[in-house]
């Protein structure tokens, strides 16, 4: 059975909107202020969607890291939705960092890299 946890309005910029994370296993550490998701992780928000094997949300330093082989991701760059994959994703403040075997498709063009940093737009106008 899948466990579902919805986290609303955390303090980092991505969370200025609602998002939902589902996974088979969830471990919450109230002392360290972290939440670990494992197995069949799905992250959904208005601007980012991805599937991963593991995700660690650190509410203390307002960031998270996801791992997968590969992680399938779809995100909004301010103009269009971009699809791709990587083995590691980090979101810290308003940056999306993809690393390890990164491959994305933007406007029909395929881009491959070992590391990619994308500034997420907070402006919805």
**Domain layout of the chain by residue ranges:** 3-119
Give the start-end residues of each E strand in 1-125. 3-7, 19-23, 25-29, 34-45, 48-58, 63-76, 81-92, 95-106, 109-119
Alpha helices (runs of H) in 41-115, residue ranges in sequence order:
none
Q: Using pLDDT thresholds of 50, 70 and 90, give the confidence band for residue 77.
A: confident
Fold of 3-119: lipopolysaccharide transport protein A fold (2.60.450)
Q: Give mean pLDDT, residues 15-40.
A: 87
More confident residue, 110 or 79: 110
The answer to whether residue 74 scores a pLDDT higher than 60 is yes
pTM of the full predicted structure?
0.76
The answer to whether residue 102 scores a pLDDT higher than 70 is yes
């Amino acid at each position: 059975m899948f466990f579902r946890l919805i986290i609303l309005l955390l303090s980092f910029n991505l969370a200025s909107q609602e998002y939902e994370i589902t996974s088979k296993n969830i471990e919450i550490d109230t002392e360290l202020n972290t939440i670990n998701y494992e197995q069949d992780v799905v992250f959904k928000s208005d601007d980012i969607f991805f599937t991963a094997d593991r995700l660690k949300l650190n509410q203390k330093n307002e960031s998270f890291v996801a791992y997968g082989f590969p992680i399938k991701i779809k995100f909004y760059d301010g103009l269009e939705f971009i699809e791709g994959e990587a083995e590691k994703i980090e979101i810290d403040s308003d940056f999306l960092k993809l690393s390890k075997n990164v491959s994305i498709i933007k406007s029909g063009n395929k881009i491959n890299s070992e590391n990619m940093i994308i500034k997420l737009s907070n402006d919805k106008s």
